[in-house]
Amino acid sequence: MNCLVTGCAGFIGSHLTESLLADGHRVVGVDCFNENYGRRQKLANLEVANQWDEFEFVPIDLSRGDLADLVSECETIFHLAAEPGVRPSWGSRFEAYVRNNILATQLLLDALCLHQDRRLVYASSSSVYGDAETFPTPEETTPSPMSPYGATKLSGEHLCKLYEGNYGVESVILRYFTVYGPRQRPDMAFNLFCRAALDEEPIEVFGNGKQTRDFTYVGDIVAATRAAGTVEGIAGEVFNVGGGSQTALEETLALIEEFAGRPLEVNHGPPRSGDVKDTSADTTRAREKLGYRPQVGLREGLLAEFEWMRDARAASAGARTHEPA
């Protein structure tokens, strides 16, 4: 299978790319190295993929130019490229969210109008639900995002529906719930918490720590995303992809404290605009139609992220030690 992975140098995109390559698929990877985190980490995310002859990297910005040639030879398009993050999406940076989450998606769908035999898997977010009234939250729940980020991801969903209804572009929408694991973005909570624990620095929590999330390990996200690209008879459907348990933030801090082997200093501040109190995914539809069953529990997955962070920081310190004076 020839695949296009947008956002291939990102957290989830790099894991998806490696999984596809390991199973013998050819991957064209796209990334524009936007400013949501450092270029060095994104380049490191591609180190394994770059070892494969079947991987071709195309450093372009999807929000600029004609994408017809990009999609013409790819049977399945995994659209993970986005401007991420709830908190930074307010104010002056909203323009970047419109460009990278809405315009880029529209241009990609436009390019697919001539290729109705292709499938687009669109990576959406649980942020489209906002403060849902029902837990676990089913896909039928009316979306009500509480942040500009959530609004732009929902706009992308609507674009997928519009292009399917008017031009026959086949799409499947996945709503990811709080993804974590090795290579997690530096602005995300577990990355920040693990880094602070290793550096023996205070941890800042926005809110009282009792807010809950449906944490989903990146390997389980990859499995669901790949299934959405191949399972027949699911065009036009929306699927929740969650980890299978609703866990309070303070419980995850207790685990990191255990991994670090020392007490953590935790400071609490007021909740930030756009942060919801709780999330929990009803994954019945994904289980029945995608065969999705989360394989990695929170303790195992969070330990994997903590150890990745520890090893990455040790490697970075070693590299600095050996730099010429």
Phi, psi of 292 (to 5 degrees): -80, 125
Q: What is the pLDDT of residue 245?
A: 86
pLDDT for residue 319:
62
Tokens 């605009």 identify what position? Answer: 273
| Residue type at position 232 | E
* Annotated catalytic residue within 37, 97, 129, 149: 149
Long-range contact pairs involving 289-293 (C-beta distance under 8 Å, separation at least 24):
289/231, 289/233, 289/234, 289/237, 289/239, 290/224, 290/227, 290/228, 290/231, 290/234, 290/239, 291/227, 291/231, 292/220, 292/223, 292/224, 292/227, 292/239, 292/241
Q: How far is the C-alpha of 9 from the C-alpha of 73, rounded, in Å?
A: 21
| The pairing of beta strand 212-213 with beta strand 247-248 | antiparallel
* Residue 316: per-residue pLDDT: 74
> How do the domains of the chain map onto residue ranges?
2-176+217-242+281-294
pLDDT value at residue 65:
72
Q: Given this model, what pLDDT does residue 322 score?
A: 54
Architecture of domain 2-176+217-242+281-294: 3-Layer(aba) Sandwich (3.40)
Averages of pLDDT over runs of 10 residues in the chain (325 residues) are 97 98 98 82 95 96 90 95 94 94 97 92 98 95 97 98 97 98 96 96 95 98 98 97 95 98 95 93 98 98 98 77 54
122 is catalytic: no
Q: What is the pLDDT of residue 35?
A: 74
